[in-house]
Amino acid sequence: MKYRFLILLSLFFIDPVAADVCATGDLGVVIEREPGNVLIINTTQHKQLGKIEKLGDLSHASVVFSRDQRYAYVFGRDGGLTKIDLLTDSVAKRILQAGNSIGGAISQDGKLIAVSNYTPGGVKIFSAESLEQIADIPAVYDDGKLSKVIGLVDAPGQRFVFSLFDAGEIWLLDMRTPAAPALQKFKNIGKQPYDALITPDGRFYIAGLFGESGLALLDLWSPESGVKKILPAYGQHDEKLPVYKMPHLEGWAIAGDYAFIPAVGRHEVLVITTDTWKLVKAIPVAGQPVFVMARPDGRQIWVNFAFPDNQQLQIIDAKDLTIENTLKPGKAVLHMEFTPRGEEVWVSLRDDNQVVIYDTATLAEVKRLPAQTPSGIFFSARAHKIGL
Amino acid sequence: MKIFILSAMLSSAVAAPPPEPARQQALRNLLKHDCGACHGLTLKGGLGPGLRPADLADKSNEFLTATILRGRPGTAMPPWNRFIDKSEAAWLVEILKNPQP
């Protein structure tokens, strides 16, 4: 590994083409789930620039970017935390920080990386520069049990927010003084929070609940008011449909005054107002929604689905809250990522071994790129967005 | 004659023929990626419990087959009987307990 890195470095310095000045604002990465590889891609040229191989178990891997957009931090399922240099196509640092890991976040100032773990349940904080451990926050509940941690996001004020799946708690971690992490716990927030998000302004943290209806809402402008339940009664007494893949709340689909979220156990996308958190409409869709993502201008909401409806994509028109179009891109649509201003979207097709790029205005296919069992797609524009 | 039929039925219930090769591959893909969404690509567990041989050692094949087919109410485990029949579920339990090296 070290040799390869040295060889790459020497190529980089010798080869005059590779040594050309290069920027990173239109770069991104695609996770190859089964082989555990990361593809480095360019969103302007629609092409693959490099491949970092064998980073362990990258099922459910997610990525954050350094604020200079040079480095991608990849959070692997097996606890691997890898810092990839997008300019040299190489691994800058790599550690194994836990046994079973689910996601991560980067701090407001870009200096801290937080990772949420299933085993051992908790959050660890690392230096973004060196990946040296700075803090360990075990998710202890009920006199010593450790909970799986989900829904970890960054929040303004050098804070991180996350939820405890087994304990039904939300924790707010203040890292302004790295040597003395300050923790505020909110208990009894609801059963089995399965994922969470933060609004793009960093104000509201919302955890979806699997074990009961509704969502848990924390207003970070007034945490002293505690966590409140929103949509508590929706679908409370209805039989739930089976969920073959957990929905994700990553990103926050917002358009005007509305937020769009996946229902759980119902084939619906819920539209709620962001001032009073009341349900406006439940839009029937093709299956159990997994990702519900707004195009950056908020005009379209793109939705993909759990097995067995995962060959489809539906596009909601945010103007009249109806399904504008249904696409069938291919087998096992896992993830989508919009270009920074939303003229195109990249979609991963796990079982077709392809990434397909669409023009979001015409819905015409722009290109298909080969990728081995692609899952997550992440563009470097995330570097400058709260909660991503 | 009656006894013979009964015993034949019993033995067929115990050892159903394995799925066709193409179906085996589809089931393995389902196991890796769709079951793996919760149980992990390497089946060491995620939001759902681990499914490695050691994790399953104290659970009967009948219990595990029924769990696949009917799910576990009160947990995130859904029923898979719309997509997998009983003999296929039994085969999946078999390969979970005795994975190929």
Interface contact B33-A373, CB threshold 8 A: yes
CATH topology assigned to domain A244-328: Thrombin, subunit H (2.40.10)
Six-digit token string for A164: 């405890």
B2 band by pLDDT with thresholds 50, 70 and 90: very low
- Interchain contact, B46 vs A60, CB within 8 Å: yes
Q: The domain containing residue B42 runs over which residues?
A: 21-97
Q: What is the CATH number of the domain that holds B75?
A: 1.10.760.10
Q: What was the pLDDT predicted at A130?
A: 97
A-chain residue closest to B39, CA distance:
A59
Picking from B32, B33, B72 by the largest number of A CB atoms within 10 A of its own CB, the best residue to mutate is B33
Domain count, chain B: 1
> Per CATH, is A97-230 categorized as 2.60.120.10?
no
CA pseudo-torsion sign B66, B69, B70, B71: positive
For residues A5 and A20, what is the distance between their CA atoms, to the nearest angstrom? 19
- Which residue ranges make up each domain of chain A? 97-230, 244-328
The interface predicted TM-score of the complex, written ipTM, equals 0.80
Query: Is position B7 within any domain?
Result: no
Which three-class secondary structure string do you get for A94-150? Answer: EEECCCEEEEEEECCCCCEEEEEEEECCEEEEEECCCCCEEEEEECEECCCEECCEE
CA angle A83, A85, A88 (to 5 degrees): 150
> Is residue B8 in a domain?
no
Instruction: Give the integer Cα–Cα distance in Å for A163 and A195.
Output: 8
Q: In this predicted structure, what is the pLDDT of residue A239?
A: 82
Per-residue pLDDT of chain A (388 residues; tens, 9 = 90+): 444 455 555 555 555 555 578 899 999 999 999 999 999 999 999 999 999 999 999 988 999 999 999 999 999 999 999 999 999 999 999 999 988 888 999 999 999 999 999 999 999 999 999 999 999 999 999 989 999 999 999 999 999 999 999 999 999 999 999 999 999 999 999 999 999 999 999 999 999 998 888 999 999 999 999 999 998 888 777 788 899 998 998 766 877 789 999 999 999 999 999 999 999 999 999 999 999 999 999 999 999 999 999 999 999 999 999 999 999 999 999 999 999 999 999 999 999 999 999 999 999 999 999 999 999 999 999 999 999 9
- Is B62 within the bounds of a domain? yes
Per-residue pLDDT band for B93 (boundaries 50, 70, 90) equals very high
Tokens of A271: 């539209």
A307–B44 CB contact, under 8 Å: no
Burial class of residue A364 in the structure, from the number of CB atoms within 10 Å of its CB (0-12 exposed, 13-18 middle, 19+ buried)? exposed
CA B86 – CA B81 distance, rounded (Å): 8
Q: What is the pLDDT of residue A249?
A: 87
Residue A6 to residue A21: CA distance in whole angstroms: 20
Q: How far is B72 from chain A (nearest CA, A)?
A: 11
> Residue B61, SS3?
helix
Distance CA B47, CA A262 (A): 19
A230: nearest Cα among A191, A262, A265, A272: A272
End-to-end CA distance of chain A: give it in Å, rounded: 30
pLDDT for the residue A288: 96
User: Nearest CA of chain A to the CA of B67: how many Å?
Assistant: 14
Indicate if the pLDDT at residue B10 is higher than 80.
no
User: Do A34 and B46 make contact, defined as CB atoms within 8 angstroms?
Assistant: no
Residue B4 lies in a domain: no
Residues of A in contact with B76 (CB under 8 A): 192, 194, 210, 243, 246
Residue B54, domain member (yes or no): yes
User: Do the domain assignments include residue B87?
Assistant: yes
β-bridge mates for residue A150, sequence order: A163
DSSP state of A224: G
- Which residue of chain B is at minimal alpha-carbon distance from A164? B47
Peptide bond into B18 cis (omega under 30): no
Chain A residues 227-246 within an 8 A CB cutoff of chain B: 242-246
At a CB cut-off of 8 Å and minimum separation 6, what does B90 contact?
A: B16, B61, B65
Give A-chain residues touching B84 at CB under 8 angstroms: none
pLDDT of residue A18: 52
Q: Which of A77, A148, A242 sits opposite B71 (nearest CB)?
A: A242
